[in-house]
Protein backbone atom coordinates (compact mmCIF):
# COMPACT_ATOMS: atom_id res chain seq x y z
CA UNK A 1 0.00 0.00 0.00
CA UNK A 2 1.26 3.49 -0.83
CA UNK A 3 1.60 5.64 2.30
CA UNK A 4 1.83 9.40 2.77
CA UNK A 5 2.07 11.40 6.00
CA UNK A 6 0.40 14.81 5.86
CA UNK A 7 -0.88 17.54 8.12
CA UNK A 8 -3.95 18.26 5.99
CA UNK A 9 -6.83 16.04 5.00
CA UNK A 10 -7.11 15.14 1.30
CA UNK A 11 -10.40 15.51 -0.55
CA UNK A 12 -12.90 13.17 1.10
CA UNK A 13 -14.53 11.95 -2.12
CA UNK A 14 -14.15 8.19 -2.50
CA UNK A 15 -12.03 7.81 0.63
CA UNK A 16 -12.63 5.77 3.76
CA UNK A 17 -11.80 7.90 6.80
CA UNK A 18 -10.83 6.08 10.00
CA UNK A 19 -9.78 7.67 13.29
CA UNK A 20 -8.01 5.90 16.17
CA UNK A 21 -8.40 7.40 19.65
CA UNK A 22 -7.79 6.55 23.28
CA UNK A 23 -10.57 6.54 25.83
CA UNK A 24 -11.67 10.02 26.89
CA UNK A 25 -14.79 12.05 27.65
CA UNK A 26 -14.15 13.86 24.36
CA UNK A 27 -11.69 11.97 22.10
CA UNK A 28 -12.00 14.66 19.43
CA UNK A 29 -9.91 17.03 21.56
CA UNK A 30 -6.89 14.85 20.75
CA UNK A 31 -7.57 14.66 17.02
CA UNK A 32 -5.35 16.24 14.34
CA UNK A 33 -6.40 19.85 13.89
CA UNK A 34 -7.17 19.47 10.18
CA UNK A 35 -9.98 16.98 10.86
CA UNK A 36 -11.00 17.85 14.42
CA UNK A 37 -14.39 19.35 13.55
CA UNK A 38 -15.50 16.34 11.52
CA UNK A 39 -14.35 13.92 14.20
CA UNK A 40 -16.11 15.94 16.89
CA UNK A 41 -19.37 15.60 14.97
CA UNK A 42 -18.85 11.86 14.57
CA UNK A 43 -18.07 11.46 18.28
CA UNK A 44 -21.24 13.25 19.28
CA UNK A 45 -23.42 11.46 16.75
CA UNK A 46 -22.20 8.03 17.86
CA UNK A 47 -21.61 8.78 21.58
CA UNK A 48 -18.03 7.61 20.98
CA UNK A 49 -15.72 7.50 24.02
CA UNK A 50 -12.77 5.53 22.66
CA UNK A 51 -13.19 2.37 24.72
CA UNK A 52 -11.09 -0.62 23.65
CA UNK A 53 -12.55 -2.21 20.48
CA UNK A 54 -15.38 0.36 20.37
CA UNK A 55 -16.29 1.18 16.77
CA UNK A 56 -18.66 3.84 15.49
CA UNK A 57 -19.47 4.35 11.81
CA UNK A 58 -19.14 2.28 8.67
CA UNK A 59 -16.01 1.14 6.89
CA UNK A 60 -17.74 1.23 3.53
CA UNK A 61 -16.73 4.83 2.88
CA UNK A 62 -19.08 7.65 1.96
CA UNK A 63 -17.18 10.58 3.45
CA UNK A 64 -18.08 10.08 7.12
CA UNK A 65 -15.68 9.03 9.86
CA UNK A 66 -15.33 5.56 11.31
CA UNK A 67 -13.98 5.85 14.85
CA UNK A 68 -12.03 3.04 16.50
CA UNK A 69 -11.37 2.97 20.26
CA UNK A 70 -7.94 2.14 21.66
CA UNK A 71 -8.94 1.98 25.33
CA UNK A 72 -7.07 3.68 28.13
CA UNK A 73 -3.70 5.16 27.20
CA UNK A 74 -1.15 4.14 26.37
CA UNK A 75 -2.32 1.35 24.11
CA UNK A 76 0.07 -1.57 23.82
CA UNK A 77 1.79 -2.15 20.46
CA UNK A 78 -0.35 -5.24 19.97
CA UNK A 79 -3.57 -3.32 20.56
CA UNK A 80 -2.51 -0.55 18.15
CA UNK A 81 -1.51 -2.94 15.42
CA UNK A 82 -4.68 -5.00 15.79
CA UNK A 83 -6.91 -1.93 15.57
CA UNK A 84 -5.21 -0.60 12.44
CA UNK A 85 -4.89 -3.95 10.68
CA UNK A 86 -8.45 -5.12 11.33
CA UNK A 87 -10.00 -1.80 10.31
CA UNK A 88 -8.13 -1.50 7.03
CA UNK A 89 -8.65 -5.13 6.07
CA UNK A 90 -12.39 -4.91 6.81
CA UNK A 91 -12.61 -1.89 4.50
CA UNK A 92 -10.59 -3.68 1.81
CA UNK A 93 -13.00 -6.61 1.97
CA UNK A 94 -15.80 -4.10 1.39
CA UNK A 95 -14.07 -2.97 -1.80
CA UNK A 96 -12.43 0.21 -0.50
CA UNK A 97 -8.83 1.05 -1.42
CA UNK A 98 -8.27 4.72 -0.54
CA UNK A 99 -7.94 5.73 3.11
CA UNK A 100 -7.50 8.68 5.40
CA UNK A 101 -6.18 7.53 8.79
CA UNK A 102 -6.11 9.93 11.75
CA UNK A 103 -4.47 9.27 15.11
CA UNK A 104 -5.10 11.05 18.40
CA UNK A 105 -2.71 12.14 21.13
CA UNK A 106 -1.33 9.32 23.21
CA UNK A 107 0.03 7.49 20.17
CA UNK A 108 3.76 8.19 20.50
CA UNK A 109 6.21 8.87 17.69
CA UNK A 110 7.86 5.42 18.06
CA UNK A 111 4.39 3.87 17.90
CA UNK A 112 3.61 5.86 14.74
CA UNK A 113 6.79 4.56 13.13
CA UNK A 114 5.65 1.02 13.86
CA UNK A 115 2.14 1.72 12.58
CA UNK A 116 3.37 3.11 9.26
CA UNK A 117 4.74 -0.35 8.47
CA UNK A 118 1.47 -1.92 9.60
CA UNK A 119 -0.47 0.37 7.28
CA UNK A 120 1.85 -0.32 4.33
CA UNK A 121 1.42 -4.07 4.76
CA UNK A 122 -2.28 -4.10 5.61
CA UNK A 123 -3.41 -4.83 2.05
CA UNK A 124 -1.52 -8.12 1.81
CA UNK A 125 -3.69 -11.13 0.95
CA UNK A 126 -2.50 -14.55 -0.18
CA UNK A 127 -5.08 -15.57 -2.76
CA UNK A 128 -2.98 -17.64 -5.15
CA UNK A 129 -5.25 -20.66 -4.84
CA UNK A 130 -8.60 -18.86 -4.75
CA UNK A 131 -10.60 -19.08 -7.94
CA UNK A 132 -13.83 -17.66 -6.55
CA UNK A 133 -14.91 -14.93 -4.20
CA UNK A 134 -14.46 -11.16 -4.28
CA UNK A 135 -11.27 -9.80 -5.78
CA UNK A 136 -9.15 -7.77 -3.40
CA UNK A 137 -8.79 -4.09 -4.28
CA UNK A 138 -5.48 -3.26 -5.92
CA UNK A 139 -3.50 -0.03 -6.06
CA UNK A 140 -4.46 0.95 -2.50
CA UNK A 141 -3.13 4.05 -0.76
CA UNK A 142 -3.41 5.74 2.62
CA UNK A 143 -2.88 9.28 3.86
CA UNK A 144 -1.86 9.26 7.53
CA UNK A 145 -2.55 12.23 9.81
CA UNK A 146 -0.40 11.87 12.95
CA UNK A 147 -1.30 13.23 16.40
CA UNK A 148 -1.06 17.04 16.71
CA UNK A 149 2.14 16.83 18.75
CA UNK A 150 4.05 15.03 15.95
CA UNK A 151 5.31 17.05 12.99
CA UNK A 152 4.33 15.16 9.80
CA UNK A 153 7.68 15.91 8.16
CA UNK A 154 9.43 13.83 10.82
CA UNK A 155 7.58 10.75 9.57
CA UNK A 156 7.66 11.34 5.80
CA UNK A 157 10.90 9.42 5.17
CA UNK A 158 9.71 6.57 7.39
CA UNK A 159 6.52 6.31 5.35
CA UNK A 160 8.57 5.91 2.17
CA UNK A 161 10.69 3.26 3.87
CA UNK A 162 7.60 1.38 5.09
CA UNK A 163 6.16 1.42 1.57
CA UNK A 164 9.39 0.05 0.09
CA UNK A 165 9.65 -2.69 2.71
CA UNK A 166 6.05 -3.79 2.24
CA UNK A 167 6.81 -5.24 -1.19
CA UNK A 168 9.67 -7.33 0.17
CA UNK A 169 7.57 -8.50 3.11
CA UNK A 170 4.77 -9.53 0.73
CA UNK A 171 7.28 -11.50 -1.38
CA UNK A 172 8.55 -13.36 1.69
CA UNK A 173 5.01 -14.04 2.89
CA UNK A 174 4.06 -15.45 -0.50
CA UNK A 175 6.96 -17.88 -0.28
CA UNK A 176 6.09 -18.84 3.30
CA UNK A 177 2.43 -19.39 2.42
CA UNK A 178 3.14 -21.56 -0.63
CA UNK A 179 2.91 -25.27 0.25
CA UNK A 180 5.90 -27.56 -0.21
CA UNK A 181 4.45 -29.36 -3.24
CA UNK A 182 4.55 -26.05 -5.14
CA UNK A 183 7.78 -24.64 -3.70
CA UNK A 184 10.90 -26.79 -3.63
CA UNK A 185 14.52 -25.59 -3.50
CA UNK A 186 14.71 -24.99 -7.27
CA UNK A 187 11.46 -23.00 -7.17
CA UNK A 188 12.79 -20.93 -4.29
CA UNK A 189 15.96 -20.21 -6.27
CA UNK A 190 13.94 -19.10 -9.32
CA UNK A 191 11.89 -16.74 -7.19
CA UNK A 192 15.05 -15.30 -5.62
CA UNK A 193 16.66 -14.87 -9.04
CA UNK A 194 13.63 -13.00 -10.36
CA UNK A 195 13.66 -10.71 -7.32
CA UNK A 196 17.39 -10.07 -7.76
CA UNK A 197 16.92 -9.10 -11.39
CA UNK A 198 14.20 -6.63 -10.51
CA UNK A 199 16.44 -4.91 -7.98
CA UNK A 200 19.78 -5.09 -9.76
CA UNK A 201 21.50 -7.74 -7.64
CA UNK A 202 24.10 -10.14 -8.94
CA UNK A 203 22.68 -13.61 -8.36
CA UNK A 204 24.46 -16.98 -8.16
CA UNK A 205 23.20 -20.46 -7.29
CA UNK A 206 25.28 -23.42 -6.18
CA UNK A 207 24.06 -26.93 -6.91
CA UNK A 208 24.85 -30.17 -5.01
CA UNK A 209 28.33 -30.69 -6.53
CA UNK A 210 29.39 -27.11 -5.83
CA UNK A 211 27.97 -27.31 -2.31
CA UNK A 212 29.96 -30.48 -1.77
CA UNK A 213 33.15 -28.81 -3.00
CA UNK A 214 32.58 -25.96 -0.55
CA UNK A 215 32.29 -28.57 2.23
CA UNK A 216 28.86 -27.38 3.38
CA UNK A 217 28.22 -30.58 5.28
CA UNK A 218 25.39 -29.23 7.40
CA UNK A 219 23.33 -28.30 4.36
CA UNK A 220 24.02 -31.64 2.70
CA UNK A 221 23.22 -33.54 5.89
CA UNK A 222 19.83 -31.87 6.33
CA UNK A 223 19.03 -32.38 2.65
CA UNK A 224 19.93 -36.09 2.76
CA UNK A 225 16.35 -36.95 3.73
CA UNK A 226 14.88 -35.27 0.65
CA UNK A 227 14.50 -36.39 -2.95
CA UNK A 228 14.96 -32.80 -4.11
CA UNK A 229 18.53 -31.51 -4.41
CA UNK A 230 19.59 -28.52 -2.30
CA UNK A 231 20.35 -25.04 -3.59
CA UNK A 232 22.63 -22.40 -2.11
CA UNK A 233 21.61 -18.95 -3.34
CA UNK A 234 23.80 -15.84 -3.29
CA UNK A 235 22.59 -12.32 -4.03
CA UNK A 236 25.11 -9.49 -4.20
CA UNK A 237 24.42 -5.77 -4.17
CA UNK A 238 27.49 -3.78 -5.14
CA UNK A 239 26.95 -0.01 -5.16
CA UNK A 240 29.55 2.13 -6.92
CA UNK A 241 30.87 3.81 -3.79
CA UNK A 242 30.47 1.11 -1.16
CA UNK A 243 32.00 1.96 2.21
CA UNK A 244 32.18 -1.59 3.55
CA UNK A 245 30.84 -5.12 3.29
CA UNK A 246 27.81 -6.56 5.07
CA UNK A 247 26.84 -10.22 4.89
CA UNK A 248 23.37 -11.55 5.74
CA UNK A 249 22.91 -15.30 5.99
CA UNK A 250 19.49 -16.92 6.03
CA UNK A 251 18.04 -20.42 6.00
CA UNK A 252 15.24 -21.40 3.68
CA UNK A 253 13.53 -24.73 4.40
CA UNK A 254 10.81 -25.57 1.89
CA UNK A 255 9.68 -28.64 3.80
CA UNK A 256 10.41 -29.84 7.33
CA UNK A 257 9.06 -33.22 8.42
CA UNK A 258 10.46 -33.23 11.97
CA UNK A 259 10.17 -31.26 15.16
CA UNK A 260 6.69 -31.75 16.52
CA UNK A 261 7.46 -35.09 18.15
CA UNK A 262 10.44 -33.77 20.12
CA UNK A 263 8.75 -30.64 21.50
CA UNK A 264 6.34 -30.31 24.45
CA UNK A 265 2.98 -31.37 23.10
CA UNK A 266 0.85 -28.99 25.23
CA UNK A 267 1.64 -25.87 23.18
CA UNK A 268 1.84 -27.35 19.70
CA UNK A 269 -1.82 -26.80 18.88
CA UNK A 270 -1.82 -23.08 19.58
Rg (CA), the chain: 23
**Chain region(s) in the chain for CATH 3.40.220.10:** 2-177
CATH number of this structure's domain 2-177: 3.40.220.10
Residue 100 pairs in a beta bridge with: 17, 143
CB 116 within 8 A of CB 158: yes
Using DSSP, state whether 124 is helix, strand or coil.
Answer: coil
pLDDT for 65-106, tens place per residue? 999 999 999 999 999 999 999 999 999 988 889 999 999 999
pTM of the model: 0.82
Residue 84: closest CA among 162, 12, 28: 162
- Count the neighbouring beta carbons within 10 Å of the beta carbon of residue 124: 18
Q: How far apart are the first and last CA of the chain?
A: 30
pLDDT for 11-65, tens place per residue? 777 889 999 999 999 999 999 999 999 999 999 999 999 999 999 987 765 668 9
Amino acid sequence: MRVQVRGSRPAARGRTAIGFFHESKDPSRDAPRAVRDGIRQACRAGAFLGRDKETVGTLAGGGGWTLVGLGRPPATPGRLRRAVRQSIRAALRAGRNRFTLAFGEGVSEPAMRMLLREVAQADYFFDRYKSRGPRRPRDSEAVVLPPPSIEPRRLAALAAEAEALSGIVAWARDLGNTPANDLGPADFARAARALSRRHGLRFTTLGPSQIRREKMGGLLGVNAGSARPPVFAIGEYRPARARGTAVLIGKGITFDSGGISIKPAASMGR
